[in-house]
């Protein structure tokens, strides 16, 4: 069964304290991995797509990386406005465009 | 530009009633998805429309759930004879085509009394 697992479930950081969120997946023949940010009461907001192992993408304080078995979302010197739930998702096997989502990591950045 | 719009934003109804949720995708987006998000849980795929192809209904949890889409425009998700376990946020997303990033609306929060 296709599965996407995120860890930790929740993470508290002090402003400026860098860290990483993990997304591991069991989908074979990965055709892409997506990262989203979700604020309370809002729909997920697209951040990155990674297509192949070794690929990296950056946006402001966020950098996403991909290996053959997992992806990391690195947050450098976070600010309180980075507080949100971060979701990763991967297409299911078999060529479908359906995505399977992880349960997310709730990030809180304290000032 | 306009994003994905969902209505109503909140819906409270009694157990056993039917509800209809609406999604207006981004203009020009051929793919449209419905998801359910229960409190503290991840997104659960419900149904996927791609152009004029037959929809992928594999995620619908029971025959009480159905969805329609007119061409490449508005979609409605209907839940008949609602149950308390149907309480959740229902999210709609659209994308240019199937494998492009999905853009989400802010959802309809459904509460069944």
DSSP-assigned letters across all residues of B19-68: EEEEEEPPTT--EEEEEEE-TT--EEEEEEEETTSPPB-TT--STTEEEE
Nearest to B88 by CA among B5, B17, B10: B10
Instruction: Quote the tokens at residue A5.
Output: 């697992």
CB contact under 8 A, B45 and A98: yes
Please tell me the distance in Å from A33's CA to the nearest CA on chain B. Answer: 10
Please tell me the distance in Å from B22's CA to the nearest CA on chain A. Answer: 15
Please tell me the distance in Å from B43's CA to the nearest CA on chain A. Answer: 6
Which residues of chain B are within 8 Å of residue A96 when distances are taken between CB atoms? 56
Contact call for residues B91 and B43 (beta carbons, < 8 A): yes
How buried is residue B84: exposed, middle or buried, by Cβ count under 10 Å (0-12/13-18/19+)?
exposed
Which tens digits make up the pLDDT trace of A67-109? Answer: 988 999 999 999 999 999 999 999 887 767 788 999 999 999 9
Which tens digits make up the pLDDT trace of B32-64? Answer: 999 999 988 889 999 999 988 899 999 999 999
Instruction: Quote the tokens at residue A76.
Output: 């450098």
Percent of chain A with pLDDT over 70: 97
Which residues of chain B are within 8 Å of residue A89 when distances are taken between CB atoms? 43
B42 touches chain A (CB under 8 A): yes
Which residues of chain B are within 8 Å of residue A64 when distances are taken between CB atoms? none
Contact call for residues B66 and B75 (beta carbons, < 8 A): no
Residues 6+ apart with CB under 8 A from A96: B56
User: In A10-59, where do the E strands start and end?
Assistant: 10-14, 19-25, 33-38, 45-50, 56-59
Which tens digits make up the pLDDT trace of A6-43? Answer: 999 999 999 999 999 999 988 777 788 999 999 999 99
């Amino acid at each position: 069964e296709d599965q996407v697992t995120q860890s930790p479930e929740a993470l508290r950081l002090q402003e400026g304290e860098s860290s990483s969120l993990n997304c591991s997946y069991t989908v074979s023949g990965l055709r892409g991995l997506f990262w989203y940010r979700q604020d309370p009461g809002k729909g997920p907001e697209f951040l990155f797509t990674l297509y192949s192992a070794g690929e990296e993408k950056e946006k402001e304080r966020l950098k996403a990386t991909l290996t053959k078995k997992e992806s990391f979302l690195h947050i450098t010197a976070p600010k309180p406005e980075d507080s949100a739930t971060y979701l990763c998702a991967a297409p299911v096997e078999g060529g479908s465009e359906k995505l399977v989502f992880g349960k997310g990591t709730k990030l809180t950045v304290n000032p | 530009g306009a994003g994905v719009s969902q209505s109503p934003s909140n819906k409270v109804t009694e157990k056993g009633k039917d509800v209809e949720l609406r999604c207006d995708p981004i203009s020009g987006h051929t793919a449209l998805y419905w998801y359910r998000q229960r409190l503290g849980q991840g997104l659960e795929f419900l149904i996927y429309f791609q152009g004029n192809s037959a929809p992928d209904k594999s995620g619908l949890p029971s025959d009480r759930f159905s969805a329609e889409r007119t061409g490449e425009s508005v979609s409605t998700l209907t839940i008949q004879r609602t149950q308390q376990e149907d309480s959740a946020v229902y999210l709609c997303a659209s994308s240019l085509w199937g494998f492009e990033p999905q853009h989400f609306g802010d959802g309809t929060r459904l509460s069944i009394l």
